[in-house]
């Protein structure tokens, strides 16, 4: 008899496209009309609505056309009257880009890793990367010129940095095509690895010469060539007439940020024992905990390889620490529930805010900073200092906006559920034993909140009592006011950038993020 995970995997596999064409071109989005639960948007939906309205107003017959530049592969509904419509089209193609990166010869990983990408979402993190790139490209002076040249010299962002084709053993069917099982393109692990002898007449006799260093032998199979790479539309510049182009490396960064985010969701749903994600069955409830954890690890592995191929040590360092931050934040949250403070303290609130940064804001802050680095602003080599200040603007904006969002999200947990926000509310965080800002503020005035926090709200009636205490305290107003302070600081920072449609969209997000609480 098949296990639950195996049966679920089989069902999910049958639901994926079976065409011989690339799977990412045939993925069927989950539409809002399919069910009541599917009408729920992600918690980011309201925060990004204004940005998307700036990016792509409803097209008209007179203003909609397909771009004749490299963006011609995007949605033909993109209006050329809108200087940012091409970014909106890119967000619409994000799933295709991600599916290309996540292909695996292992059918289980291929299915589970792509599971959360089947659903539609606002994709705020990649949106921020693209908007920040659009708003800052060109500010790096000579660095911007160098980055354009570097990107034009690339054949593909999927090019391996390791010359030996058989060393990585990382065959991606979406990029490399079907893996051969009976030809020289497949490694053979039943034979020892060996370097094939130099051919007769070779000018060099050193085993480390270029003629042998570019080969990887496997017994008698001999030389393993580099896996073929199918060049895709994602290797081209994102072009809009009259606007700074967005480089392929910046577009790839946008996909990487979403991969890291979704990997964290896979792990969080296992830790929290969540049955639902965005109104649909969660990966752990569908495939089991083991496959969900391993698929999250697979996403992080693919993201790490893609990061290395961007060619910037500083960007690799930034995004690598994001992964560490996510883990640190989760451990801090676990400690806060297992060893909570016995009374309201500044340290306890600072720990909560630090956890908020690590789990939510770090990815937004560092990916925004990475986007401007890839645009040539303040290169990490210490030579080009032009545009160095832009890196701090981008980082500060992402950090402040991310914390503002999380504070509002925590406030929503104490309000009636709103389907438009995708937040279950009615004490969802409390049921996980989490004491967030509204509860911590209320505790300062109402000591009876303390025993509830100490026992993690696990007794009957605890959640309802905690919500009642918060309701009669100033916990919610103080939380909202703090969120407005962070959002205002994010706006002040981004207003330092030159005026542009992208900058206005970023400003709009700082307003909308706090307007979710009426």
Which residues have a Cβ under 8 Å from the Cβ of 193 and sit 6 or more positions away?
216, 217, 218
Task: For residue 108, tell me if it sits in a domain.
Answer: no
Mean pLDDT to the nearest integer, 445-469: 95
Higher pLDDT, 275 or 189: 275
Task: For residue 205, tell me if it sits in a domain.
Answer: no
Higher pLDDT, 263 or 219: 263
What pTM was estimated for this model as a whole? 0.80
Total count of domains within the chain? 1
What are the angstrom distances between the C-alpha of 60 and each of 49, 86, 356, 493, 500? 20, 16, 42, 35, 23
CA 19 from chain center: how many Å?
28
Which residues have a Cβ under 8 Å from the Cβ of 21 and sit 6 or more positions away?
none
Task: For residue 221, tell me if it sits in a domain.
Answer: no
What span, in angstroms and rounded, lies between the C-alpha atoms of 104 and 289?
A: 20
Assess whether pLDDT exceeds 50 at residue 258: yes
Mean pLDDT to the nearest integer, 30-49: 40
Task: For residue 8, tell me if it sits in a domain.
Answer: no
Task: For residue 453, tell me if it sits in a domain.
Answer: yes
Which residues have a Cβ under 8 Å from the Cβ of 229 and sit 6 or more positions away?
155, 156, 158, 159, 175, 176
- Could you tell me the CATH number of the domain that includes residue 502? 1.10.600.10
pLDDT tier for residue 411 given thresholds of 50, 70 and 90 = very high
Task: For residue 489, tell me if it sits in a domain.
Answer: yes
User: Which of 147-151, 157-161, 403-407, 454-458 comes out lowest in average pLDDT?
Assistant: 157-161
Q: Which helix (H) or strand (E) holds 277?
A: strand 276-277
Assess whether pLDDT exceeds 70 at residue 438: yes
Task: For residue 321, tell me if it sits in a domain.
Answer: yes
Mean pLDDT to the nearest integer, 271-278: 86
- For the chain, what percent of residues have pLDDT higher than 90? 51
Q: What is the pLDDT of residues 205-215, one digit of tens each?
A: 444 433 333 33
Task: For residue 33, tell me if it sits in a domain.
Answer: no
Range(s) of the domain holding residue 465:
118-158+313-515
């Amino acid at each position: 008899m098949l296990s639950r995970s195996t049966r679920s995997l089989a069902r999910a596999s049958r639901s994926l496209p079976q065409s011989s064409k690339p799977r990412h071109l045939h993925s069927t989005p989950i539409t809002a009309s399919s069910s009541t639960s599917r009408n729920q948007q992600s918690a980011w939906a309201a925060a990004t609505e204004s940005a998307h309205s700036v990016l792509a107003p409803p097209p008209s017959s007179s203003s909609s056309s397909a771009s004749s530049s490299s963006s011609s592969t995007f949605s033909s509904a993109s209006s050329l009257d809108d200087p940012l419509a091409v970014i909106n089209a890119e967000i619409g193609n994000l799933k295709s880009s991600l599916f290309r990166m996540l292909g695996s010869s292992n059918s289980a990983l291929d299915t589970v890793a792509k599971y959360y990408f089947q659903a539609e979402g606002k994709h705020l993190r990649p949106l921020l990367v693209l908007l920040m790139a659009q708003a800052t490209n060109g500010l790096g002076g000579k660095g911007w010129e160098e980055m354009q040249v570097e990107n034009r010299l690339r054949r593909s962002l999927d090019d391996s940095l390791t010359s030996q084709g058989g060393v990585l053993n990382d065959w991606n069917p979406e990029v490399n095509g079907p893996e051969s099982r009976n030809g020289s393109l497949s490694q053979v692990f039943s034979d020892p690895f060996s370097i094939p002898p130099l051919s007769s007449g070779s000018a060099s006799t050193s085993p480390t010469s270029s003629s042998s260093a570019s080969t990887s032998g496997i017994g008698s199979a001999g030389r393993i060539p580099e896996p073929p790479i199918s060049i895709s539309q994602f290797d081209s510049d994102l072009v809009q007439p009259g606007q700074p182009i967005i480089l392929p490396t910046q577009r790839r960064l946008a996909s990487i940020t979403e991969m890291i985010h979704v990997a964290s969701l896979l792990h969080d749903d296992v830790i929290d024992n969540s049955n639902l994600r965005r109104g649909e069955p969660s990966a752990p409830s569908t495939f089991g905990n083991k496959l969900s954890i391993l698929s999250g690890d697979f996403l992080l592995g693919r993201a790490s390889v893609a990061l290395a191929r961007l060619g910037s040590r500083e960007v690799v360092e930034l995004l690598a620490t994001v992964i560490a931050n996510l883990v640190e934040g989760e451990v801090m949250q676990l400690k806060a529930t297992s060893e909570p403070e016995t009374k309201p303290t500044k340290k306890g609130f600072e720990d909560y805010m630090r956890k908020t940064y690590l789990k939510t804001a770090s990815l937004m802050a560092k990916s925004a900073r990475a986007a401007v680095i890839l645009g040539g602003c303040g290169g990490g080599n210490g030579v080009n200092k032009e545009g160095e200040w832009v890196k701090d603007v981008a980082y500060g904006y992402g950090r402040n906006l991310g914390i503002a969002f999380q504070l509002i999200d925590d406030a929503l947990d104490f309000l009636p559920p709103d389907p438009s926000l995708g937040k279950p509310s009615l004490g969802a965080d409390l049921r996980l034993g989490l004491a967030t800002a509204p509860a911590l503020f209320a505790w300062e005035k109402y000591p009876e909140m303390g025993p509830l926090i100490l026992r993690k709200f696990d007794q009957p009636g605890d959640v309802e009592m905690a919500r009642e205490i918060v309701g009669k305290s100033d916990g919610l107003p103080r939380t909202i006011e703090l969120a407005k302070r962070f959002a205002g600081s994010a706006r002040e920072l981004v207003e330092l950038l030159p005026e542009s449609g992208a900058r206005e969209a970023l400003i709009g997000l700082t307003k909308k993020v706090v307007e979710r609480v009426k």
